[in-house]
Homo-oligomer: A and B are copies of this chain.
Amino acid sequence: MNIKNVFNCGWLRKNAPDSCIVISSRIRLARNINKIPFPHWADEKNLKKAALLIQNAAKKCSYLVNSECYDLNKTTPLDKQYLIEKHLISPEQAISINGYLIAGDKEMISIMINEEDHLRIQSMDAGLNLFEAWDIINKLDSDLSDKLNYAISPQWGYLTACPTNVGTGMRASVMMHLPALILTGQINKVLKGVSQLGLAIRGLYGEGTKALGNLYQISNQVTLGQAEEETIDYIKKITNQIIGYEKDAQEVLTKESNEQLEDKIFRAYALLTHARIISSSEAMDFLSTVRLGVSINLLKNVSLEVLNELLIVIQPAHIQKIYKSTLTPEQRDIKRAELIREKLLIT
């Protein structure tokens, strides 16, 4: 496989709703084909059969007209890492047998084949756009269900490999940037509150309160006994509440004429635009701080879209795809610094 388009995220578009705080919205549906064992129990023959059925069905879907299908068995480790960084495949999918990825035009919709379930259909959009993402994925799902015989029970709904997904098979999530809640020490209260409301909240690439780049993902836990629109509406409401808390915290920070905060923000911006060597975690940290600076209107000439793009492209596999070579961690730190300067100083 040769993944050519290094950066083709259609969902990172401009002026998305609440994009100051909500980076992206994502919905995925877990689906399985009737009378074929779930991937973890299926033999190779069945996995191939499922993959073929799904690929053929996908070809006939209008939403997947310009899609590409990647055979993950023939994908290099670097390319797999690259797809993980883009959230197009999961780390589990990267090591699956007979796994495939169908990536729609601009990567806004995609299907993982033979991950935990036969199909994991995904729709992504920028900002707080859960209903728009739902609208697209719902139509694609209907389209696919005409062509595939889904495993469905009149009593339980969609049947899935893991019982936590049975019912709607839907996981809706938003990725939020919450730097002011962290700086004002309120994040734990918010995390606790969200959990008590029955939603899951976790840091990017990790459980618990330590979030890389102050990024948190909020998603539903319930998939049973609740219509999809109901779940999405609930997440949207809670997300709006958290947006309110983050905005309040940002206002508190700006009202205090906080030289410490200004210093932190300008130093982060200075280092991003001048460093010659920068690690992934240092860069994430500075990008998060600069993003806060843009949100509170302290940094005027930095675009949120560029910062959002950087949060993705500074990752190790992206750096190597962009510079078209396998790089050591030390070489990546140099190229990462180069890429960040280039992207930030153009805007």
Contacts and interface: CB of A to CB of B under 8 A. Distances in A.
Interface of A: 259-260, 262-263, 266-267, 269-271, 273-277, 334, 337
Contacts of A266: 274-276
Nearest to A262: B276
Nearest to A265: B276
5 contacts: A262-B276, A263-B275, A266-B276, A269-B274, A270-B273
B275 A267 contact: yes
Given A262-B276, A267-B276, 8 more contacts: A259-B276, A260-B277, A263-B337, A266-B276, A267-B270, A270-B274, A270-B275, A271-B271
Contacts of A337: 263
Q: What's the number of copies of this chain in the assembled complex?
A: 2
A271 B267 CA distance: 6
A267 B274 contact: yes
A36 to B, nearest CB: 53
Nearest to A278: B263
A267 B267 CA distance: 9
Contacts of A334: 259
Nearest to A269: B274
Contact of A263 (B262, B263, B276): B276
A210 to B, nearest CB: 25
Contacts of A274: 266-267, 269-270
Contacts of A259: 276-277, 334
A212 to B, nearest CB: 22
A216 to B, nearest CB: 28
Contacts of A270: 267, 270-271, 273-275
Contacts of A262: 276
A337 B267 CA distance: 11
A186 B270 CA distance: 31
Nearest to A268: B274
A290 to B, nearest CB: 11
